[in-house]
Amino acid sequence: MGRMKILVANLGSTSLKYRLFDFSGGQERLLTRGGMERLTDHAPAIESCLAELRQGGWITRESDLAAVGFKTIMARGVNGCVRLDESVVRAMEDYASIAPAHNPPYIAGIRLFAKFMPGVPLVALFETAFYQWAPEAAMRYAVPEAWCQAGIRRWGFHGASHKFIAERSAEMLCRQDVAHRARQLYVDGGKSPVREPALRVVSCHLGGSSSVTGIRNGVAVGNSMGLTPQSGLPQNNRVGDLDVFALPFLMRSTGLTLEEAERLLCKESGLKALSGGYNDFRDIVARAEQGDGPAKLALDVYAHHIRHWIGSYFLQLNGLDALVFTAGIGENQAGVRTEICRDLDQLGLKLDPKLNAETKAREAVISAPESAVKIIVIPTNEELVVAREVRRFLQNPSTPSLNP
């Protein structure tokens, strides 16, 4: 195979992060990475990303890139790894109102890449892909059949991150068979052989956006996020789970409009609402340490909900071999990990306080030697998962998992 450089663009509402991988000659190398934050306009950011790649000598012309990969969130009727053509972008537009913080920046960014690099294939790996093999009972809402047909079901998100954790945790626990099954998941739907006993992992992706997933033998059994990325755990400024009857009640009793309710639920809720206006976890922790009541409550609610989901998967998986923490908060905030693992010794989980305190942004086992369940920190690598699937897609565009 010739040149195989794949750029993965990670588009946030106000940020652009990228990683450039080289798969030439069957190897797998990260060539460079970069990004910009606090953006008001993605167009100059994308132009400067491409300029950085050229100035760094990583690419000299458009055709040096085999593809640009995107960690897209959700689209009507589309799942898995697909070529981004107009129909897929329209399917993302169809769901822009239920993923308002995610789909619009991705759609805008994808259109800009298509304009700046018209000859380069653009390929998406949807975050929902990892849950295609989760049990139906875990993914259904108890709604009329017509609603279900219209897509009202649990989809689950952070698929790239949780898939990376499925692979990496299995490697760390010396279960190459399970790591292989997780790696091959989008090719064979989890059919590659594994030995007994089953490997049971709970992955906590805790960041600006957070979710918990249960994983049996490399395959997800569910995710704390449901229909949309506003659900599940309290997010940085998005609401998390809420009884749906709150909305009609407030609209009727206070005159709240639908548009204002959507704005409040997507931008002014979650940890920001609980903490009295703080979006960044570091600020909330700092305020809680100074004795601020709302900040302390925000931390307590967050840990409570995370424990709720860990407990759910502990049961669904019939016990646990490893509890994994990842993403900005999970990798860096020892205090949150302490709170989540508090008083679980009867269930076989015991942190080593020193190892926990020392571990920041690196891979480490942080449980005590006598802990039956390993507690592990693993820095996530979502871009690598996207790049691998994009590469596989380029080699074989009819990969069976594309549209289940």
Among 333, 359, 367, 381, binds ligand AMP (CB under 6 A): 333
Q: How far is the CB of 162 from ligand AMP (least distance, A)?
A: 13
Tokens of 90: 């329209």
Tokens of 312: 């759910």
Q: How far is the CB of 19 from ligand AMP (least distance, A)?
A: 14
Q: How far is the CB of 380 from ligand AMP (least distance, A)?
A: 8
Q: Which is nearer to ligand AMP, 272 or 374 (CB)?
A: 272
Contact call for residue 262 and ligand AMP (CB under 6 A):
no
Contact call for residue 207 and ligand AMP (CB under 6 A):
yes
Among 332, 356, 359, 401, binds ligand AMP (CB under 6 A): 332
What length does the chain have? 404
- Evaluate whether 60 touches 222 at the Cβ level (below 8 Å): no
Please name the helix (run of DSSP H) or strand (run of DSSP E) that holds residue 19, with its range, or none. strand 16-22
157/73 Cα distance (integer angstroms):
7
288/375 Cα distance (integer angstroms):
25
Report how far apart the first and last C-alpha atoms of the chain are (Å, whole number): 29
Contact call for residue 322 and ligand AMP (CB under 6 A):
no
Q: Which stretch binds ligand AMP (CB under 6 A): 118-126, 261-269, 328-336, 371-379?
A: 328-336
Among 327, 344, 373, 384, binds ligand AMP (CB under 6 A): 327
Contact call for residue 328 and ligand AMP (CB under 6 A):
yes
Residue 123 is given by DSSP the state E
86/70 Cα distance (integer angstroms):
15
Q: How far is the CB of 271 from ligand AMP (least distance, A)?
A: 8
Query: What are φ and ψ of residue 29, in 5° steps?
Result: -130, 140
Q: Which is nearer to ligand AMP, 23 or 106 (CB)?
A: 106
Contact call for residue 329 and ligand AMP (CB under 6 A):
yes
56/125 Cα distance (integer angstroms):
27
- Environment class of residue 291 by beta-carbon count within 10 Å: exposed (0-12), middle (13-18) or buried (19+)? exposed
Contact call for residue 362 and ligand AMP (CB under 6 A):
no
Nearby residues of 16 by Cβ (< 8 Å), 6 or more positions away:
9, 10, 35, 36, 39, 42, 45, 46, 49, 109
Among 281, 313, 314, 325, binds ligand AMP (CB under 6 A): 281
Contact call for residue 234 and ligand AMP (CB under 6 A):
no
Site string for ligand AMP, 6-25 (x = CB under 6 A): --------------------
- Evaluate whether 51 touches 92 at the Cβ level (below 8 Å): no
Q: Which stretch binds ligand AMP (CB under 6 A): 143-151, 279-287, 297-305, 394-402?
A: 279-287
Q: How far is the CB of 188 from ligand AMP (least distance, A)?
A: 30
Q: Which stretch binds ligand AMP (CB under 6 A): 56-64, 223-231, 280-288, 298-306?
A: 280-288
Contact call for residue 282 and ligand AMP (CB under 6 A):
yes
Q: How far is the CB of 206 from ligand AMP (least distance, A)?
A: 8
Can you list the positions of beta strands (E) in 89-170?
A: 122-125
Tokens of 58: 């990583």
Binding site for ligand AMP (CB under 6 A): 207-209, 280-282, 327-329, 332-333
